[in-house]
Structure 1
Amino acid sequence: MTTHLTTQPAAAAGTFRIGGDLTVNRLGYGAMRLTGPGIWGEPADPDEAVRVLRRAVELGVNFIDTADSYGPFISDQLIKRALHPYTDDLVIATKVGLSRPGPDDWRPVGRPEYLRQQVELNLRHLGVETIGLLQLHRIDPALPLEDQVGELAALQQEGKIRHLGLSEVTVEELEKARAVAEIVSVQNLYNLAERKSEDVLRYAEQQGLAFIPWFPIAMGQLAEPGSPLQSVLKDHDATPAQLALAWLLRHSPALLPIPGTSSVAHVEENTASALIELSDEEYQAITAAG
């Protein structure tokens, strides 16, 4: 193992070119857990949140996923505090389209004027002139999808957004959005124990889109003692979370897992999962068990 991969293990995950021009290491970091309880307000220890972000980057993470609704805006502000001015290779993806009336309360709002306002606020809070990847957090069912994606495409034409993505969508919705604007990524719930979006993943593979699985480290009952995966965990001296991430990285070259945590120790543990090399037999056993 090279010294580079020992010090920056995220690089062992391999790379993906988002939109064909933003090259990132496939193992990223999700910033949602940096906020207070209910994804609301300041964290109990903002200094630790800053340390987590800086440590992630030290470990080779150059793809960070956030959203205006995390806090709201708390994760954006922590990212700016920790990492601004940003290095040229760091890609910050953010999202708009979910309003936050209170803790654990998420409501889709896709009015074009609201989406524009939130993009402008994202630019300000992150301290950037252009957002590398802007994703529609949820489609607002009360409004035509074309109006929502169309407004984001207009902001892209104005130079405020580089690439566009969608979150929690079907293949049909992806195709509908792609008729309005170029879509380069999709962010759906996906992990070893929850694979309802397998068709979306395969579509992303075929079309060259990035698939960003949220809640990537869930394993369900497979993490419990007596699971058929215990021997694999023991052989690799790995945690269940590390095995879940290693499986995702092996499962598809389009997958860009973004495990989130508010702990430096956990970000180190999660990033080390990129160093786990599953054999064909182990991969098949994990896939079948899931």
Structure 2
Amino acid sequence: MQYRTIADTAVSAIGLGAMPLSIENRPDEARAVATVHAALDAGVTFVDTADSYHWHAGEAGHNELLIARALARYGGDTSDVLIATKGGRGRPGDGSWTVDADPGHLKRAAEASAKRLGVEAIGLYQLHKPDPAVPWTESVGALRDLLDAGTIRAAGISNVTTGQIRQAHQILGDGLVSVQNRYSPAVRDSEPELRLCTRLGLAFLPWSPLGGISRSSLDGPSRPTSAGTAFQRIAAVRGVSPQQIALAWLLSRSPAVIPVPGASRPASVRDAARAAELQLSSGELAQFEDVVGVEEHRNENRR
């Protein structure tokens, strides 16, 4: 496994997005735990979760509790595993996603997340999404308070613009270590945010890094794993999966990038982890620009 850094912490170049283990159509707990263990066995040391990763009403924190149980049951050393969780979104149980970045809510949410994860301080806590009803500086100020109180060790922000990153950086200083936006071979509207993160030394954590390939909006020639694309052709030559090629492409974009592909099966985790070892040639990278589509607007209904 190759490693990259979030602030001064070395983590695996490929993380585990744990959301599929707790939302709609989630696997049973045995398979979910096996998926987490497979990630750890493959060298993954970065796990992404959130208090809103659940399915039914009344089970907030389902994913955090699941991750905590999986780590407790793992037979090996987990001291180097960084768990990143998020607060500021909710799920009432009807399939929708709500937003609440009120400072008081964020502070209570972080304390509850720490308790569910069984830690004294959360390694990385990220504001899940800006709340249009709350001034951005006030939401980010809550992260500053959490850092000062020792509830969290580092802060991140998600689903943000370059202007919001700059404001957060001014408020949080070195306490801001990461940005988590949607970014993939097929969805590249966060290129400005990626460039800014690279300049500021912030980790850039793409969510849905495979372009949401199960979504109908990405059907067609822009799909990174569609037959006939460069991803498919190069994968066939390399003898690997197109998903590995897509993740390797993401890693090539900047040393700040740490993709967090979601998984609900051990085989998927093992396949994704192997992408960290792939080195794409300049000739291979040049092929992608002709086949990768760009989605103009972020999907605002998820994450």
Structure 1 residue 169: Cα displacement: 0.6
Q: Contact 2:248–2:276 (CA<8 Å) still a contact in 1?
A: yes
Contact 1:29–1:61 (CA under 8 A) maintained in structure 2: yes
Q: Where does 1:4-83 land on structure 2 (aligned, <5 Å)?
A: 11=1, 14-19=2-7, 21-37=8-24, 43-71=26-54, 72-83=60-71
- Cα pair distance change 1:82/1:228, threshold 3 Å: closer
The 1:31–1:210 alpha-carbon spacing in structure 2 relative to 1, beyond 3 Å, is same
| Cα deviation code 1:60-84 (max 9, x no counterpart) | 0001010010013111111111103
1:217·1:241 contact (CA, 8 Å) conserved in 2? Answer: yes
Q: Which moved more, 1:29-38 or 1:247-256?
A: 29-38
1:161–1:222 distance in 2 versus 1, CA, 3 Å? closer
Q: Is residue 84–residue 127 contact of structure 1 (8 Å, CA) maintained in 2?
A: no
Higher relative strand content: 1
The SS at the match of 2:156 is strand
Query: In the alignment, which of 87, 97, 119 is matched to residue 106 of structure 1?
Result: 97
Amino acid at match of 2:28: D
Q: Which amino acid aligns with 1:49?
A: A
Tell me by how many angstroms 1:279 deviates: 1.1
The answer as to whether partners of 2:231 and 2:245 remain within 8 angstroms in 1 is: no
Cα 1:168/1:26, change in 2 over 3 Å: same
State whether structure 2 residue 120 is matched by structure 1 residue 132: no
CA drift of 1:95 comes to 0.4
Report the equivalent of 1:199: 192
How many Å apart are 1:233 and its aligned residue? 1.7
CA distance, structure 1, for counterparts of residue 70 and residue 104 of structure 2: 30
Tell me the number of residue pairs that the alignment of Structure 1 and Structure 2 aligns. Answer: 273
**Structure 1 36/171 Cα, relative in aligned 2: closer, same or farther at 3 Å?**
closer
User: Does structure 2 conserve the Cα–Cα contact (< 8 Å) formed by 1:35 and 1:75?
Assistant: yes
Give the whole-Å Cα distance in 2 for the aligned partners of 1:139 and 1:206.
22
Do the aligned partners of residues 117 and 22 (structure 1) sit closer, same or farther apart at CA in structure 2, a change above 3 Å counting?
A: same
Shift of 1:28: 0.7
Cα distance between partner residues in 2 of 1:194 and 1:124: 35
Tell me by how many angstroms 1:224 deviates: 2.2
Q: TM-score when scaled to structure 2?
A: 0.86
Alpha-carbon offset, residue 277 of structure 1:
2.1
Deviation at 1:103, TM superposition (A): 4.2
Residue matched to 2:157: 166
Distance change in 2, residues 1:103/1:52 (3 Å): farther
User: Is contact 1:192-1:287 (8 Å) kept?
Assistant: no
Match of 2:166 in 1: 175
Shift of 1:125: 0.7
Contact 1:37–1:103, Cα closer than 8 Å, also in 2: no
Pick which of 229-238 and 196-205 moved more: 229-238
The equivalent of 1:276 in structure 2 is: 278
Q: Within 2, Cα distance between the matches of 1:66 and 1:138?
A: 14
Tell me the equivalent position of 1:254.
256
Corresponding letter in the other structure for 2:82: V
Question: Post-superposition shift, 1:126?
Answer: 0.6
User: Contact 1:246–1:278 (CA<8 Å) still a contact in 2?
Assistant: yes
Structural RMSD (CA): 1.6
Identity %: 40
Deviation larger for 114-123 or 101-110: 101-110
Could you tell me which amino acid in structure 1 is paired with residue 282 of structure 2?
A: D
Worse-superposed segment, 269-278 or 199-208: 269-278
1:6 aligns to what? none
Instruction: Please say if residues 32 and 75 of structure 1, whose CA atoms lie closer than 8 Å, have aligned partners that are also in contact.
Output: yes
Which segments of 5 or more consecutive residues in structure 2 lack a partner in the other structure?
55-59, 214-221, 293-303
TM-score by length of 1: 0.90
Query: In 2, distance between residues paired with 1:257 and 1:81?
Result: 24
Aligned pair partner of 1:123 in 114, 118, 129: 114
C-alpha separation in 2, matches of 1:186 and 1:63: 14
Which residue of the partner structure matches residue 265 of structure 2?
A: 263
State the distance in 2 between where 1:228 and 1:130 align. 44
Separation in structure 2 between the aligned mates of residue 59 and residue 186 of structure 1, nearest angstrom = 25
